[in-house]
Structure 1
Amino acid sequence: MFPTPPGLYDAALERLKTRLADEFPERSSVPRERFVMTERLADKVLSEQKSTTIRYDRDRVEYPAGPVLPLYAAAEQAPHDEYRCLARLRVLSVRYSTFNGLTEADARSDGFSSLDELLGTLQHFYGRIMPDDTVCIYEFALERTATKQKTLAWNVVLQSASV
């Protein structure tokens, strides 16, 4: 869990980074600056049918760059670097699992109707994932601070292709 006050969050983040270095010494740890999802999945976040997102990188493990990260939606046919910012997500927790350690409960919290659907979608987005590969599971809550109209109107082009 990540506490809200900045000083407490910073301390929790440092403990997490130390833990990642100990548990995954062969991988670099990288901060996640934002979440990018297809419009279909982003809509599930906005309707509160999705409270987690699972991320995978074969060579790295990640951690949240801050307690609140922006959510961007990518149209199915849009260029890879054109996204719309829809909302802000408060990171409640982050945990790590093997790909074959994912459960039906993980699938439901991620907005899928079954574990098979989740696993297939992850393989579609990331390519082949081996059973013992590590995935990162972020639990989040939708921030209610910005007006929906204001955030939906914020169209951006991101410089970096990392998502």
Structure 2
Amino acid sequence: MNVPSLYFHPDYLDAVRTGRKTTTVRFRDPVEVGPVSLVFEADEEVALPGVVTRLTETTVGRLSEADAVADGFRDLAELHGRLRYHYPDIEPTDHITVVHFRQVT
């Protein structure tokens, strides 16, 4: 059985490995609950076994400080900055998915 991949910027590898990052915000990137390969693309690809446990639909403007901390950021301003980095055209009214995941050991 092929396990779908959930791709991450390599900057987030340590935060996922240590459990500081347990969510990721996705914009126009369909994800399903179930087993996944957490893939970090850098000079060498790193893939960790994981599982998506829950999906929460919301808008950028409704994200909270708690969402930012679960996503591995200091605060909401940092999360918003990273969202604009990854998705330059994202707006506060855009619908996004908060993907809750964990590593499987």
TM-score, L = length of structure 1: 0.58
CA shift for structure 1 position 63 = 3.2
Question: Could you say what secondary structure the match of 2:55 adopts?
Answer: strand
CA shift for structure 1 position 85 = 3.3
What is the match of residue 49 of structure 1?
20
2:79 aligned to 102, 118, 122, which one?
118
Structure 1 residues 63 and 72, CA, compared in 2 at 3 Å: closer, same or farther? closer
- Structure with the larger helix share: 1
State the one-letter code of the partner of 1:34.
S
What is the match of residue 143 of structure 1?
104
State the one-letter code of the partner of 1:92.
T
Separation in structure 1 between the aligned mates of residue 77 and residue 18 of structure 2, nearest angstrom:
23
What is the match of residue 30 of structure 1?
none
State the one-letter code of the partner of 1:73.
F
Structure 2, gaps ≥5 residues long = none
State the one-letter code of the partner of 1:36.
Y
Question: What does 1:82-121 correspond to in 2, within 5 Å?
Answer: 84-121=45-82
2:30 aligned with 1:62: yes
Sequence identity percentage: 27
TM-score, L = length of structure 2: 0.88
Count residues with an aligned counterpart. Answer: 102
Deviations 1:58-105 (A, max 9, x none): xxx6231x6111011122xx5xxxx61320111110011101000100
Question: Which of structures 1 and 2 has the bigger CA Rg?
Answer: 1
